[in-house]
Protein backbone atom coordinates (compact mmCIF):
# COMPACT_ATOMS: atom_id res chain seq x y z
CA UNK A 1 0.00 0.00 0.00
CA UNK A 2 1.27 3.47 -0.91
CA UNK A 3 1.91 5.75 2.04
CA UNK A 4 1.77 9.52 1.82
CA UNK A 5 3.73 12.01 3.87
CA UNK A 6 1.51 13.82 6.38
CA UNK A 7 1.45 17.39 5.11
CA UNK A 8 -0.78 20.31 5.91
CA UNK A 9 -1.27 23.39 8.05
CA UNK A 10 0.98 23.48 11.09
CA UNK A 11 -0.06 26.92 12.32
CA UNK A 12 -2.65 29.57 11.41
CA UNK A 13 -3.11 33.19 12.51
CA UNK A 14 -5.20 36.09 11.26
CA UNK A 15 -4.78 39.83 11.04
CA UNK A 16 -7.95 41.88 11.03
CA UNK A 17 -7.88 45.68 10.71
CA UNK A 18 -9.03 47.41 13.89
CA UNK A 19 -11.55 49.72 12.22
CA UNK A 20 -14.96 48.64 11.06
CA UNK A 21 -18.15 50.03 9.59
CA UNK A 22 -21.40 48.66 10.94
CA UNK A 23 -23.81 47.54 8.23
CA UNK A 24 -26.49 49.36 10.22
CA UNK A 25 -24.62 52.60 9.55
CA UNK A 26 -24.37 51.77 5.85
CA UNK A 27 -28.06 50.88 5.73
CA UNK A 28 -29.02 54.34 7.03
CA UNK A 29 -27.04 55.99 4.23
CA UNK A 30 -28.16 53.66 1.44
CA UNK A 31 -31.77 53.57 2.65
CA UNK A 32 -31.69 49.77 2.49
CA UNK A 33 -33.54 47.69 5.09
CA UNK A 34 -30.77 46.54 7.48
CA UNK A 35 -32.38 43.08 7.43
CA UNK A 36 -31.23 42.77 3.84
CA UNK A 37 -27.63 43.07 4.98
CA UNK A 38 -28.02 41.00 8.15
CA UNK A 39 -30.26 38.23 6.81
CA UNK A 40 -30.11 38.62 3.02
CA UNK A 41 -26.30 38.69 2.97
CA UNK A 42 -25.48 37.52 6.51
CA UNK A 43 -23.11 40.40 7.32
CA UNK A 44 -23.02 42.54 10.47
CA UNK A 45 -19.87 44.62 10.12
CA UNK A 46 -17.07 45.07 7.64
CA UNK A 47 -13.40 45.63 8.44
CA UNK A 48 -11.98 48.78 6.89
CA UNK A 49 -8.25 49.07 6.22
CA UNK A 50 -6.81 52.31 7.56
CA UNK A 51 -4.87 54.50 5.13
CA UNK A 52 -1.57 53.26 6.56
CA UNK A 53 -2.60 49.61 6.18
CA UNK A 54 -2.30 47.79 2.89
CA UNK A 55 -2.02 44.16 1.77
CA UNK A 56 1.70 44.22 2.60
CA UNK A 57 1.37 45.48 6.19
CA UNK A 58 -1.55 43.14 6.85
CA UNK A 59 0.39 40.16 5.50
CA UNK A 60 3.48 41.06 7.54
CA UNK A 61 1.41 41.56 10.69
CA UNK A 62 -0.39 38.22 10.27
CA UNK A 63 2.91 36.37 9.80
CA UNK A 64 4.66 38.26 12.59
CA UNK A 65 1.89 37.29 15.02
CA UNK A 66 1.93 33.72 13.72
CA UNK A 67 5.64 33.35 14.46
CA UNK A 68 5.21 34.87 17.92
CA UNK A 69 2.11 32.92 18.92
CA UNK A 70 3.38 29.53 17.75
CA UNK A 71 7.02 30.18 18.61
CA UNK A 72 8.16 29.48 15.06
CA UNK A 73 11.73 30.17 14.00
CA UNK A 74 11.58 32.38 10.89
CA UNK A 75 14.87 30.85 9.71
CA UNK A 76 13.05 27.57 8.96
CA UNK A 77 10.96 29.20 6.19
CA UNK A 78 12.19 27.98 2.80
CA UNK A 79 9.24 29.17 0.73
CA UNK A 80 7.05 32.26 1.08
CA UNK A 81 3.99 32.47 -1.15
CA UNK A 82 1.50 35.31 -0.84
CA UNK A 83 -1.93 34.80 -2.36
CA UNK A 84 -3.51 38.13 -3.22
CA UNK A 85 -5.47 40.02 -5.82
CA UNK A 86 -4.52 43.37 -4.29
CA UNK A 87 -0.97 43.58 -5.68
CA UNK A 88 0.75 46.88 -4.90
CA UNK A 89 3.19 46.82 -7.80
CA UNK A 90 3.06 45.35 -11.28
CA UNK A 91 6.47 43.72 -10.90
CA UNK A 92 7.52 43.47 -7.26
CA UNK A 93 5.48 40.89 -5.36
CA UNK A 94 3.95 41.49 -1.96
CA UNK A 95 6.02 38.49 -0.84
CA UNK A 96 9.21 40.41 -1.48
CA UNK A 97 8.21 43.31 0.81
CA UNK A 98 7.02 40.86 3.45
CA UNK A 99 10.23 38.85 3.25
CA UNK A 100 12.18 42.00 4.10
CA UNK A 101 9.85 43.14 6.86
CA UNK A 102 9.99 39.76 8.57
CA UNK A 103 13.74 39.37 8.12
CA UNK A 104 13.43 35.95 6.50
CA UNK A 105 16.44 33.99 5.31
CA UNK A 106 17.82 34.70 1.81
CA UNK A 107 17.57 30.93 1.25
CA UNK A 108 13.88 31.30 0.60
CA UNK A 109 11.86 31.28 -2.61
CA UNK A 110 9.34 34.14 -2.66
CA UNK A 111 6.51 35.01 -5.02
CA UNK A 112 2.82 35.88 -5.20
CA UNK A 113 -0.04 33.85 -6.61
CA UNK A 114 -2.99 35.64 -8.15
CA UNK A 115 -6.31 34.31 -9.27
CA UNK A 116 -8.93 36.48 -7.54
CA UNK A 117 -10.02 34.75 -4.32
CA UNK A 118 -8.40 31.48 -5.41
CA UNK A 119 -4.91 32.99 -4.89
CA UNK A 120 -4.69 31.79 -1.26
CA UNK A 121 -5.60 28.23 -2.17
CA UNK A 122 -3.19 28.25 -5.11
CA UNK A 123 -0.49 29.22 -2.59
CA UNK A 124 -1.52 26.57 -0.05
CA UNK A 125 -1.71 23.73 -2.57
CA UNK A 126 1.58 24.72 -4.14
CA UNK A 127 3.24 24.96 -0.74
CA UNK A 128 2.08 21.49 0.26
CA UNK A 129 3.33 20.05 -3.06
CA UNK A 130 6.64 21.89 -2.54
CA UNK A 131 6.95 20.46 0.94
CA UNK A 132 6.34 16.93 -0.32
CA UNK A 133 9.17 17.25 -2.84
CA UNK A 134 11.68 19.55 -1.11
CA UNK A 135 10.67 20.55 2.41
CA UNK A 136 10.68 16.99 3.70
CA UNK A 137 14.33 16.69 2.62
CA UNK A 138 15.55 20.00 4.01
CA UNK A 139 13.38 20.27 7.11
CA UNK A 140 12.13 23.66 5.87
CA UNK A 141 8.55 24.82 6.03
CA UNK A 142 6.49 27.07 3.76
CA UNK A 143 4.87 30.31 4.85
CA UNK A 144 1.60 30.96 3.04
CA UNK A 145 -0.19 34.28 3.46
CA UNK A 146 -3.50 35.31 1.93
CA UNK A 147 -4.03 39.08 2.10
CA UNK A 148 -6.52 41.40 0.44
CA UNK A 149 -8.59 44.53 0.64
CA UNK A 150 -12.03 44.02 -0.91
CA UNK A 151 -13.21 47.33 -2.31
CA UNK A 152 -16.23 48.16 -4.48
CA UNK A 153 -17.65 51.50 -5.62
CA UNK A 154 -19.44 53.55 -2.97
CA UNK A 155 -23.18 53.08 -3.27
CA UNK A 156 -22.92 49.85 -5.30
CA UNK A 157 -24.82 46.67 -4.43
CA UNK A 158 -21.47 45.01 -3.64
CA UNK A 159 -20.33 47.70 -1.17
CA UNK A 160 -21.75 45.88 1.89
CA UNK A 161 -19.63 42.84 1.00
CA UNK A 162 -16.31 44.65 1.39
CA UNK A 163 -13.70 43.74 3.99
CA UNK A 164 -9.98 43.50 4.61
CA UNK A 165 -7.59 41.16 6.35
CA UNK A 166 -4.88 38.55 6.09
CA UNK A 167 -4.44 34.93 7.12
CA UNK A 168 -0.96 33.46 7.60
CA UNK A 169 -0.27 29.72 7.68
CA UNK A 170 2.80 27.57 8.07
CA UNK A 171 2.67 24.52 5.82
CA UNK A 172 4.82 21.49 6.47
CA UNK A 173 5.02 17.94 7.75
CA UNK A 174 3.28 16.47 10.77
CA UNK A 175 0.67 19.24 10.73
CA UNK A 176 -0.99 19.97 14.06
CA UNK A 177 -3.82 22.16 12.69
CA UNK A 178 -5.05 20.43 9.53
CA UNK A 179 -3.64 17.49 7.64
CA UNK A 180 -4.54 17.72 3.96
CA UNK A 181 -6.08 14.56 2.53
CA UNK A 182 -3.83 13.21 -0.26
CA UNK A 183 -6.53 12.63 -2.89
CA UNK A 184 -6.16 13.77 -6.52
CA UNK A 185 -7.19 17.38 -7.04
CA UNK A 186 -10.70 18.41 -8.00
CA UNK A 187 -10.51 21.70 -9.85
CA UNK A 188 -12.59 23.70 -12.32
CA UNK A 189 -11.48 26.54 -14.57
CA UNK A 190 -13.52 28.59 -17.00
CA UNK A 191 -12.73 31.91 -18.65
CA UNK A 192 -15.61 34.11 -17.43
CA UNK A 193 -16.06 37.80 -16.66
CA UNK A 194 -17.96 37.63 -13.40
CA UNK A 195 -15.68 39.86 -11.34
CA UNK A 196 -12.50 41.69 -12.27
CA UNK A 197 -10.42 44.77 -11.49
CA UNK A 198 -8.58 46.51 -14.33
CA UNK A 199 -5.11 47.84 -13.43
CA UNK A 200 -6.34 51.43 -13.56
CA UNK A 201 -9.04 50.90 -10.90
CA UNK A 202 -8.90 50.55 -7.12
CA UNK A 203 -12.39 49.07 -7.01
CA UNK A 204 -13.55 45.78 -8.47
CA UNK A 205 -16.26 45.48 -11.11
CA UNK A 206 -18.71 42.65 -10.63
CA UNK A 207 -21.72 41.11 -12.30
CA UNK A 208 -23.22 39.93 -9.01
CA UNK A 209 -25.71 37.32 -10.17
CA UNK A 210 -23.34 35.91 -12.80
CA UNK A 211 -20.64 35.58 -10.12
CA UNK A 212 -23.00 33.63 -7.88
CA UNK A 213 -23.93 31.31 -10.76
CA UNK A 214 -20.26 30.77 -11.66
CA UNK A 215 -19.41 30.03 -8.02
CA UNK A 216 -22.15 27.41 -7.75
CA UNK A 217 -21.25 25.83 -11.08
CA UNK A 218 -17.62 25.48 -9.96
CA UNK A 219 -18.80 23.97 -6.67
CA UNK A 220 -21.03 21.40 -8.39
CA UNK A 221 -18.24 20.37 -10.73
CA UNK A 222 -15.50 20.08 -8.10
CA UNK A 223 -17.72 18.35 -5.53
CA UNK A 224 -18.57 15.63 -8.07
CA UNK A 225 -14.95 15.32 -9.19
CA UNK A 226 -13.72 15.05 -5.60
CA UNK A 227 -16.37 12.51 -4.71
CA UNK A 228 -15.07 10.37 -7.54
CA UNK A 229 -11.36 10.86 -6.88
CA UNK A 230 -11.50 10.52 -3.09
CA UNK A 231 -14.43 8.18 -2.53
CA UNK A 232 -15.57 10.57 0.20
CA UNK A 233 -19.25 11.43 0.31
CA UNK A 234 -21.63 13.73 2.23
CA UNK A 235 -21.54 11.68 5.44
CA UNK A 236 -17.75 11.74 5.58
CA UNK A 237 -17.57 15.47 6.30
CA UNK A 238 -18.11 16.78 9.79
CA UNK A 239 -17.74 20.33 8.46
CA UNK A 240 -18.15 21.97 5.07
CA UNK A 241 -16.33 25.23 4.56
CA UNK A 242 -16.68 27.53 1.59
CA UNK A 243 -15.18 30.65 0.13
CA UNK A 244 -17.19 33.35 1.91
CA UNK A 245 -17.74 36.55 -0.10
CA UNK A 246 -20.66 37.01 2.32
CA UNK A 247 -21.99 34.37 4.73
CA UNK A 248 -25.26 33.87 2.86
CA UNK A 249 -23.19 32.63 -0.10
CA UNK A 250 -21.93 29.79 2.09
CA UNK A 251 -25.57 29.00 2.86
CA UNK A 252 -26.42 28.98 -0.86
CA UNK A 253 -23.48 26.63 -1.48
CA UNK A 254 -24.47 24.34 1.38
CA UNK A 255 -28.09 24.38 0.18
CA UNK A 256 -27.03 23.24 -3.27
CA UNK A 257 -24.99 20.34 -1.92
CA UNK A 258 -27.80 19.35 0.46
CA UNK A 259 -30.32 19.35 -2.39
CA UNK A 260 -27.95 17.16 -4.39
CA UNK A 261 -27.74 14.76 -1.47
CA UNK A 262 -31.54 14.64 -1.23
CA UNK A 263 -31.62 13.56 -4.86
CA UNK A 264 -28.90 10.96 -4.27
CA UNK A 265 -30.86 9.41 -1.38
CA UNK A 266 -34.19 9.42 -3.16
CA UNK A 267 -37.62 10.07 -1.72
CA UNK A 268 -36.94 8.55 1.68
CA UNK A 269 -33.96 10.85 2.31
CA UNK A 270 -32.86 8.20 4.80
CA UNK A 271 -30.64 9.54 7.57
CA UNK A 272 -30.28 13.02 6.09
CA UNK A 273 -30.67 15.89 8.56
CA UNK A 274 -32.87 18.79 7.50
CA UNK A 275 -31.18 21.61 5.59
CA UNK A 276 -31.26 23.98 8.58
CA UNK A 277 -30.02 21.42 11.12
CA UNK A 278 -27.27 20.25 8.83
CA UNK A 279 -26.18 23.82 8.05
CA UNK A 280 -26.11 24.79 11.73
CA UNK A 281 -23.99 21.74 12.55
CA UNK A 282 -21.60 21.72 9.63
CA UNK A 283 -21.06 25.24 8.32
CA UNK A 284 -22.48 27.92 10.61
CA UNK A 285 -19.73 27.59 13.27
CA UNK A 286 -17.27 28.58 10.57
CA UNK A 287 -18.90 31.89 9.65
CA UNK A 288 -18.93 34.12 12.73
CA UNK A 289 -15.67 35.96 11.98
CA UNK A 290 -16.57 36.40 8.30
CA UNK A 291 -19.85 38.04 9.36
CA UNK A 292 -17.83 40.55 11.38
CA UNK A 293 -15.07 41.18 8.84
CA UNK A 294 -16.60 40.83 5.36
CA UNK A 295 -14.91 39.46 2.27
CA UNK A 296 -11.13 39.26 2.48
CA UNK A 297 -10.97 37.65 -0.95
CA UNK A 298 -8.02 35.21 -1.04
CA UNK A 299 -8.14 34.67 2.73
CA UNK A 300 -11.92 34.29 3.14
CA UNK A 301 -11.96 30.49 3.13
CA UNK A 302 -9.13 30.44 5.67
CA UNK A 303 -10.83 33.05 7.81
CA UNK A 304 -13.73 30.60 7.86
CA UNK A 305 -11.35 27.83 8.94
CA UNK A 306 -10.02 30.15 11.65
CA UNK A 307 -13.62 30.84 12.78
CA UNK A 308 -14.28 27.12 13.10
CA UNK A 309 -11.07 26.41 15.00
CA UNK A 310 -11.59 29.28 17.44
CA UNK A 311 -15.27 28.57 18.02
CA UNK A 312 -15.03 24.81 17.97
CA UNK A 313 -12.32 24.22 20.56
CA UNK A 314 -11.83 20.58 21.50
CA UNK A 315 -15.17 19.78 19.82
CA UNK A 316 -13.59 19.88 16.37
CA UNK A 317 -10.56 17.73 17.20
CA UNK A 318 -10.00 14.95 14.71
CA UNK A 319 -12.95 15.94 12.53
CA UNK A 320 -12.87 16.06 8.73
CA UNK A 321 -13.58 19.29 6.88
CA UNK A 322 -14.35 19.65 3.18
CA UNK A 323 -13.22 22.99 1.77
CA UNK A 324 -14.37 24.77 -1.39
CA UNK A 325 -12.27 27.59 -2.75
CA UNK A 326 -13.54 29.90 -5.51
CA UNK A 327 -11.82 32.68 -7.36
CA UNK A 328 -13.65 34.72 -9.95
CA UNK A 329 -12.44 34.61 -13.46
CA UNK A 330 -12.75 31.70 -12.60
CA UNK A 331 -11.09 28.81 -10.77
CA UNK A 332 -12.58 26.57 -8.09
CA UNK A 333 -11.17 23.69 -6.06
CA UNK A 334 -12.63 21.25 -3.56
CA UNK A 335 -10.32 19.51 -1.12
CA UNK A 336 -10.44 18.17 2.40
CA UNK A 337 -8.44 17.63 5.53
CA UNK A 338 -8.46 16.36 9.08
CA UNK A 339 -8.31 18.89 11.87
CA UNK A 340 -5.55 18.27 14.37
CA UNK A 341 -5.96 15.71 17.10
CA UNK A 342 -5.42 18.34 19.84
CA UNK A 343 -7.04 21.77 19.90
CA UNK A 344 -4.25 22.96 22.20
CA UNK A 345 -2.22 23.25 18.98
CA UNK A 346 -4.20 26.38 17.98
CA UNK A 347 -6.10 27.51 21.05
CA UNK A 348 -5.31 31.13 21.94
CA UNK A 349 -3.07 31.48 18.87
CA UNK A 350 -5.39 32.38 16.03
CA UNK A 351 -6.13 35.94 17.04
CA UNK A 352 -9.62 36.41 15.60
CA UNK A 353 -11.44 36.69 18.92
CA UNK A 354 -8.72 38.94 20.26
CA UNK A 355 -9.06 41.21 17.22
CA UNK A 356 -12.83 41.42 17.73
CA UNK A 357 -12.34 42.66 21.26
CA UNK A 358 -10.41 45.82 20.43
CA UNK A 359 -12.19 47.22 17.42
CA UNK A 360 -12.93 50.85 16.65
CA UNK A 361 -16.18 51.79 14.96
CA UNK A 362 -16.12 54.34 12.12
CA UNK A 363 -19.01 56.60 11.27
CA UNK A 364 -19.89 56.91 7.61
CA UNK A 365 -17.87 60.11 7.04
CA UNK A 366 -14.80 58.54 8.64
CA UNK A 367 -15.22 55.49 6.42
CA UNK A 368 -15.32 57.70 3.33
CA UNK A 369 -12.30 59.62 4.57
CA UNK A 370 -10.36 56.38 5.07
CA UNK A 371 -11.11 55.52 1.44
CA UNK A 372 -10.08 58.94 0.20
CA UNK A 373 -6.92 59.01 2.30
CA UNK A 374 -6.06 55.47 1.18
CA UNK A 375 -6.35 56.55 -2.46
CA UNK A 376 -4.14 59.60 -1.84
CA UNK A 377 -1.52 57.35 -0.27
CA UNK A 378 -1.07 55.46 -3.54
CA UNK A 379 0.05 58.60 -5.39
CA UNK A 380 3.72 59.28 -5.81
CA UNK A 381 4.69 62.04 -3.41
CA UNK A 382 2.12 61.07 -0.82
CA UNK A 383 4.74 60.14 1.76
CA UNK A 384 3.28 61.23 5.05
CA UNK A 385 6.09 61.53 7.58
CA UNK A 386 4.84 62.54 10.98
CA UNK A 387 1.21 62.46 9.94
CA UNK A 388 -1.29 60.42 11.93
CA UNK A 389 -1.08 56.64 11.80
CA UNK A 390 -4.54 55.44 12.70
CA UNK A 391 -3.18 51.96 13.18
CA UNK A 392 -0.21 52.09 15.50
CA UNK A 393 0.74 48.49 14.65
CA UNK A 394 4.16 47.17 13.98
CA UNK A 395 4.05 47.74 10.22
CA UNK A 396 2.87 50.91 8.53
CA UNK A 397 2.54 52.01 4.92
CA UNK A 398 3.60 55.64 4.84
CA UNK A 399 2.96 56.50 1.21
CA UNK A 400 5.00 56.66 -1.96
CA UNK A 401 8.19 58.64 -2.41
CA UNK A 402 10.30 58.60 -5.59
CA UNK A 403 8.02 55.88 -6.96
CA UNK A 404 8.84 53.60 -4.02
CA UNK A 405 6.42 52.45 -1.38
CA UNK A 406 7.67 53.45 2.02
CA UNK A 407 7.06 51.13 4.96
CA UNK A 408 8.09 51.65 8.53
CA UNK A 409 8.02 49.57 11.64
CA UNK A 410 6.32 51.76 14.17
CA UNK A 411 7.55 51.57 17.72
CA UNK A 412 4.96 53.75 19.32
CA UNK A 413 1.42 54.91 18.87
CA UNK A 414 1.47 58.05 16.80
CA UNK A 415 -2.27 57.66 16.63
CA UNK A 416 -3.96 60.90 15.98
CA UNK A 417 -7.31 60.89 14.27
CA UNK A 418 -6.76 60.20 10.59
CA UNK A 419 -10.35 60.53 9.66
CA UNK A 420 -10.33 64.16 10.77
CA UNK A 421 -6.95 64.85 9.27
CA UNK A 422 -7.64 65.66 5.66
CA UNK A 423 -6.40 69.23 5.99
CA UNK A 424 -3.51 68.18 8.19
CA UNK A 425 -2.44 65.52 5.68
CA UNK A 426 -2.50 67.95 2.75
CA UNK A 427 -0.57 70.55 4.70
CA UNK A 428 2.03 67.94 5.71
CA UNK A 429 2.33 66.86 2.09
CA UNK A 430 2.74 70.48 1.02
CA UNK A 431 5.52 70.93 3.58
CA UNK A 432 7.30 67.79 2.38
CA UNK A 433 7.05 69.18 -1.15
CA UNK A 434 8.87 72.40 -0.09
P1 LIG B 1 -28.11 42.65 -4.28
O2 LIG B 1 -28.47 43.57 -5.38
O3 LIG B 1 -28.11 43.17 -2.91
O4 LIG B 1 -28.98 41.30 -4.39
O5 LIG B 1 -26.67 42.08 -4.59
P6 LIG B 1 -30.45 40.97 -3.97
O7 LIG B 1 -31.34 42.14 -4.20
O8 LIG B 1 -30.71 39.69 -4.67
O9 LIG B 1 -30.44 40.76 -2.37
C10 LIG B 1 -29.56 39.89 -1.76
C11 LIG B 1 -30.35 38.98 -0.81
O12 LIG B 1 -31.01 39.77 0.19
C13 LIG B 1 -31.45 38.19 -1.50
O14 LIG B 1 -31.45 36.90 -0.89
C15 LIG B 1 -32.71 38.93 -1.10
O16 LIG B 1 -33.88 38.13 -1.10
C17 LIG B 1 -32.35 39.35 0.31
P18 LIG B 1 -31.36 35.58 -1.80
O19 LIG B 1 -32.51 35.61 -2.72
O20 LIG B 1 -30.07 35.68 -2.57
O21 LIG B 1 -31.39 34.46 -0.82
N22 LIG B 1 -33.16 40.49 0.82
C23 LIG B 1 -33.62 40.58 2.07
N24 LIG B 1 -33.53 39.75 3.11
C25 LIG B 1 -34.12 40.14 4.29
N26 LIG B 1 -34.79 41.32 4.43
C27 LIG B 1 -34.89 42.17 3.41
C28 LIG B 1 -34.30 41.81 2.17
N29 LIG B 1 -34.23 42.43 0.95
C30 LIG B 1 -33.53 41.59 0.14
N31 LIG B 1 -35.55 43.32 3.58
C32 LIG B 1 -24.79 40.64 -4.44
C33 LIG B 1 -26.12 41.02 -3.85
C34 LIG B 1 -24.18 39.52 -3.65
C35 LIG B 1 -24.98 40.18 -5.89
C36 LIG B 1 -23.88 41.90 -4.40
O37 LIG B 1 -23.64 42.26 -3.07
C38 LIG B 1 -22.55 41.69 -5.10
O39 LIG B 1 -22.44 41.90 -6.32
N40 LIG B 1 -21.50 41.29 -4.35
C41 LIG B 1 -20.16 41.07 -4.88
C42 LIG B 1 -20.08 39.79 -5.70
C43 LIG B 1 -20.11 38.55 -4.87
O44 LIG B 1 -19.87 38.57 -3.69
N45 LIG B 1 -20.36 37.39 -5.54
C46 LIG B 1 -20.37 36.13 -4.84
C47 LIG B 1 -19.90 34.96 -5.72
S48 LIG B 1 -18.39 35.36 -6.62
C49 LIG B 1 -17.14 35.28 -5.40
O50 LIG B 1 -17.38 34.83 -4.33
C51 LIG B 1 -15.80 35.82 -5.77
C52 LIG B 1 -15.43 37.12 -5.10
O53 LIG B 1 -15.13 36.90 -3.75
C54 LIG B 1 -14.27 37.78 -5.84
C55 LIG B 1 -13.00 36.99 -6.01
O56 LIG B 1 -12.99 35.84 -6.41
O57 LIG B 1 -11.95 37.63 -5.84
C58 LIG B 1 -16.56 38.13 -5.15
Read off φ and ψ for residue 111, nearest 5 degrees.
-170, 170
Cis amide leading into 27 (omega within 30): no
Mutate which of 41, 275, 290 for ligand 1? The one with the most ligand atoms within 8 Å of its CB, which is 41
Query: pLDDT per position in the chain (434 positions), as tens?
Result: 557 789 999 999 999 999 999 999 999 999 999 999 999 999 999 999 999 999 999 999 999 999 999 999 999 999 999 999 999 999 999 999 999 999 999 999 999 999 999 999 999 999 999 999 987 788 899 999 999 999 999 999 999 999 999 999 999 999 999 999 999 999 999 999 999 999 999 999 999 999 999 999 999 999 999 999 999 999 999 999 999 999 999 999 999 999 999 998 886 677 899 999 999 999 999 999 999 999 999 999 999 999 999 999 899 999 999 999 999 999 999 999 999 999 999 999 999 999 999 999 999 999 999 999 999 999 999 987 766 667 766 899 999 999 999 998 865 433 334 344 333 333 333 332 32
pTM for the whole thing?
A: 0.94
Distance from the CA of 195 to the center of ligand 1, in angstroms? 13
Distance from the CA of 86 to the center of ligand 1, in angstroms? 22
Read off φ and ψ for residue 112, nearest 5 degrees.
-105, 155
Distance from the CA of 35 to the center of ligand 1, in angstroms? 13
Residue 267 and residue 206: Cα distance in Å, rounded?
A: 39
Atom of ligand 1 nearest to the CA of 33: 31
Q: How is domain 7-431 classified at the architecture level of CATH?
A: 3-Layer(aba) Sandwich (3.40)
Residue 285 and residue 303: Cα distance in Å, rounded?
A: 12
Is 221 assigned a catalytic role? no
**Which protein residue's CA is at the shortest distance from atom 41 of ligand 1?**
158
Q: What is the pLDDT of residue 383?
A: 85
Say if ligand 1 is within 6 A of residue 36 CB.
yes
Q: What is the pLDDT of residue 134?
A: 84
Q: What is the pLDDT of residue 135?
A: 75
Is 85 assigned a catalytic role? yes
Distance from the CA of 262 to the center of ligand 1, in angstroms? 25
Tell me, letter by letter, the H, E, C secondary structure of 245-281: CCHHHHHHHHHHHHHHHHHHHCCCCCCCCCHHHHHHH
Active-site entry in 108, 117, 214, 331: 117
Amino acid sequence: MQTHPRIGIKAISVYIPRHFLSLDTLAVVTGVDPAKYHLGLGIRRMAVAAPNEDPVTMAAAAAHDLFARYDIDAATVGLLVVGSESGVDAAKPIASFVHGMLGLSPDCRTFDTTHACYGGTAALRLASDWHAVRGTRTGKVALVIATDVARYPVGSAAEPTQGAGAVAMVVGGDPEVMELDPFPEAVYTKDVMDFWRPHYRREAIVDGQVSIDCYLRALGHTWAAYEQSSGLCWDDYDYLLFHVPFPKMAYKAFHMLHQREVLVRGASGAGLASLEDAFIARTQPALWVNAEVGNIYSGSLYLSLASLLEAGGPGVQGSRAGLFSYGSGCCGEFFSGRLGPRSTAWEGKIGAREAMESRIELDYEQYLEFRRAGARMTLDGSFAAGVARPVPGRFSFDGIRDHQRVYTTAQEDLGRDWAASDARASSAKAQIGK
